[in-house]
Amino acid sequence: MLEPLPGAAPVWRARCDPGQWLAACLAIATAGGRLGSLWASDERDTGKERAGALGGYSVHALMVTYDGLLWLDLPVSAQVAGYPDLSGIFPCARRMQRAAFDLVGLRALAPDGTPPDSRGWLRHGAWSAAIHPLRRDLALTEQLAPGDPRYAFVAVEGEGVHEIAVGPVHAGIIEPGHFRFSIVGERVLRLEQRLGYKHKGIEKRFESMSLLEGARLAGRVSGDSTVAYAWAYAMALEGMAGVRPGSRALRLRALLLERERIANHLGDLGFIGNDGGLAFGLAQFSRLKEDLLRSNAALFGHRYMMDRIVPGGVAVDLETAGRDRLLAEADSLEAELRTLRAIYYDHAGLQDRCINCGRLSPKTAAALGVVGLAARASGHAMDARVHPGFAPYDEFVPKLASHRNGDVAARIVVRFEEILESLQLERSLLQALPKGELQVTLAEPPPGACGVGWVEGWRGEVLVALQAGPAGRVRRCHPHDPSWQNWPALEHAVLGNIVPDFPLINKSFNLSYAGADL
């Protein structure tokens, strides 16, 4: 039984049994669909367990199909605490399943009854493997005794193979994570990532908040994508509450989202140039980014526009003077961008470093379920703004930028194209801002109501699955960053490249640690 969920994102929800769970995933994979997100929840308090029904826990999967999202909900009994492994169908499920085990204690099991990977992902040594912090009988502030911190990296053996261990603290202004390279000479034979260092209990923290307060936390899952997260959270909550923000509010949201995209792409183009040996690029692009951030501060009161999208609408408005300032900014930025693009594209040193470096082939990208900018640079034209085309993008349809080569150069080209397209969208939005309300009031959603947000941030699709508890509280919230899918792709993209190219390749993906560590 498919139950449509109200809201701006096309979502259907279905409860299934283990057989249907596997069959549905297989059918979706065969039809070209992919896994959007996977998480688990503790439902023992709902009383189904006492009634003897199947249940106690649930594992949830959001599948992305051509028709929209399918939210599969598989009840799992407390005695079994296991469910069919999806990583054979969707390799990107593996880390999500490990995280779900760490937090809730449900194990993904292969047909032979063993887990595909039993190592902790979010659990390092801070608590023991027998403890699962997202279970409802554990308090948010529970003092957990340390557990075993050891972690078995996959060892690569053979003549001349050695390891380079990097992190969690990196040699720059970078988020923490560990990279284990197995090397022959200078070439990367294997890269294994270990993340989870920034895990700070975000999902548990959501459950201590009201649905309205949760918006602020959602905007701090990954600071560089604060607008995308705030919108996705608001979209989920508005769906549950049965309201739709007005046209002016939606267009202002799109304006903020495009400005977030432009700012991040500008920063990345600078850092990629710098890592490719062109420090001039960093100086120029960081200047342009700063100009944009200052306009944000002047017009929207915050450089990164945090907390400017709120459930029900927006907390900003734009007067005529502000509109004219942004239109002028778009023109001057476009001129600067064209100058710098000509320099980047003509630069022999950058060409040498970036072309064919860190290739992610279209085939590998599809197999790994890669999303967002990285997918578009590897030949896959996917973008939640175009499909499903949530409002107001149904009226302001962006031209997709895509490239087939999947290398660092392709990710540079896609960024240039996307900034130009975002500037075009900005202009269209600014010239068509209707009068109207900025915020609508939200009614309190009934306990148990569910909503989903689906927004294309600058890095890729941001998903938020939200469930209401009693009295307007959050019962469960799972924010999903595109980095979950794209981190494993980086492990593939570096294969056969030389170690000194890793920073460049890594930067060309620029994935979020915070967003996936939660």
Partner 1 sequence: MQKILFQIARTGIISEPASAADESLRRIPGRLNDEVLRLLGRALAIRHVDAGSCNGCELEIHATNNPYYNLEGLGIKFVASPRHADMLLVTGPVSRNMEEALRRTYEAMPEPKLVVAIGDCGCDGGIFGENYASCGRVANVIPVDVAVPGCPPEPNAIIQGILTAVSVARG
Torsion angle (degrees, nearest 10) of CA 343, 349, 353, 355: 60
* Count of CB atoms situated within 10 Å of the CB of 1: 7
User: Rounded to the nearest whole angstrom, what is the least distance from the CB of residue 55 to partner 1 in the complex?
Assistant: 25
Beta bridge partners of 210: 473
CA separation for the pair 103, 203 (Å, rounded): 9
Task: Compute the least distance from the CB of residue 236 to partner 1, in Å.
Answer: 19
Residue number, 283 or 443, with CB nearest to partner 1 = 283
**Residue 419 CB, nearest approach to partner 1 (Å):** 17
Q: What's the min distance (Å) between Cβ of 301 and partner 1?
A: 12
Residue written as tokens 């595909």?
116
Q: Which is nearer to partner 1, 70 or 202 (CB)?
A: 202
DSSP H helices in 192-316: 202-206, 214-218, 226-241, 247-275, 279-300
CB closer to partner 1 out of 98 and 380? 98
DSSP 8-state assignment for residue 225 = G
Burial status of residue 319 (CB atoms within 10 A of its CB: 0-12, 13-18, 19 or more)? exposed
Question: Looking at beta carbons only, is 34 or 308 nearer to partner 1?
Answer: 308
Q: Where are the alpha helices (DSSP H) in 156-224?
A: 202-206, 214-218
Least separation in angstroms between CB 142 and partner 1: 5
From the CB of 173, what's the least distance to partner 1, in Å?
A: 5
Q: Coil, strand, or helix at residue 483?
A: helix
Nearer residue to partner 1 within complex by CB, 190 or 341: 341
Alpha carbon of residue 119 to chain centroid? 23
The tokens for 104 are 């809730």
Residue closer to partner 1, measured from CB, 2 or 173: 173
Least distance from partner 1 to the Cβ atom of residue 513, Å: 7
CB 263, min distance to partner 1, A: 9
Q: DSSP secondary structure string, 285-336?
A: HHHHHHHHHHHHHHHHSSTT-TT-EETTEES----HHHHHHHHHHHHHHHHH
Nearest to partner 1 of 70, 221 (CB atom)? 221
CB nearer partner 1, residue 202 or residue 370: 202
Take residue 24 and report the two structure tokens written for it: 């549905």
Least distance to partner 1, CB of residue 5, Å: 28
Host H or E run for residue 37:
strand 34-42
Which of 187, 205 has the CB closer to partner 1? 205
Phi/psi at 480 (nearest 5 deg)? -120, 125
β-bridge partners, 473: 210
Q: Which positions lie near partner 1, rule CB under 8 A?
A: 124-127, 133, 138, 140-144, 168-169, 171-176, 196-202, 204-205, 216-217, 220-224, 226, 267, 280, 283-284, 286-287, 289-290, 293, 297, 303-304, 306, 339-340, 342-343, 346, 512-514, 517
Tokens representing 209?
């908040």
Compute the distance between CA of residue 187 and CA of residue 498 in angstroms, rounded to an integer: 4
